């Protein structure tokens, strides 16, 4: 691992399996031990530096499940004390698990992958009115305390582009209009992936790195 923290104190800064190998729930083979006090402080100090030096408005935490709810709450408290209107967004999963429901009691908004999958099914004729009502209301019946905790989206940097999932039939040309209408009608925070507004295609390649 080409990382200064690894060289400083591998066992303190990184998580390990029982056999001594580094855990890999990030897909990068170097999961931080965010339960360690010095690691939490390092993360918070870094974020405060971005706010003070570069006037950053907020942060999205990729693979936030790896940080853990306790660490996320620690960061939220420190950041909001410093900047009360800081924007906090979590991608609520990792290769290990999913914490979307646990984020309900925090100051974080999170990506609503249920919204993404339901809207695709609904527009293709496989949804239902109860599900549509749930997502139009900001997922507050279960997932969120308030609608502003729901980041509603149908495409992100990962996985297939929206149009690549639809196919090439003539009807599919009308479906993006329906999708955008439902996205903007739904309570919560709408998110568009860069290029989705002009129906960007990834030529049906799922892995963006390819």
- Give the strand order in the sheet containing 87-90: 58-61, 87-90, 109-112, 150-152, 189-190
167, exposed or middle or buried, with CB in 10 Å at 0-12, 13-18, 19+?
Answer: exposed
Give the residue numbers marked as catalytic: 62, 91
| SS3 assignment, position 89 | strand
Q: Return the ∠ at Cα 47 (arms to 45 and 49), rounded to 5°.
A: 70
Measured CA to CA, the distance from residue 160 to residue 137 in angstroms comes to 26
DSSP three-state, residue 191: coil
């Amino acid at each position: 691992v080409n990382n200064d923290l690894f060289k400083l104190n591998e066992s303190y800064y990184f998580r390990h399996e029982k056999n001594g190998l580094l855990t890999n729930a990030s897909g990068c083979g170097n999961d931080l031990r965010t339960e360690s006090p010095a690691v939490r402080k390092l993360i918070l100090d870094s974020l405060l530096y971005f706010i003070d030096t570069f006037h950053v408005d907020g942060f999205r935490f990729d693979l936030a499940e790896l940080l853990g709810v306790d660490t996320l709450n620690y960061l939220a408290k420190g950041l909001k004390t410093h900047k009360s209107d800081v924007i906090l967004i979590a991608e609520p999963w990792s290769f290990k698990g999913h914490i979307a429901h646990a984020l309900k009691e925090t100051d974080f908004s999170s990506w609503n992958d249920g919204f993404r999958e339901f809207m695709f099914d609904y527009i293709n004729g496989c949804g239902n009115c109860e599900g549509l009502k749930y997502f139009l209301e900001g997922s507050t019946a279960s997932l969120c305390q308030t609608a502003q905790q729901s980041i509603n989206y149908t495409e992100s940097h990962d996985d297939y582009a929206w149009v690549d999932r639809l196919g090439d039939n003539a009807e599919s040309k009308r479906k993006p209009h329906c999708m955008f209408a439902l996205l903007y009608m739904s309570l919560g925070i709408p998110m568009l992936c860069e290029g989705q507004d002009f129906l960007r295609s990834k030529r049906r390649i799922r892995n963006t790195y390819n």
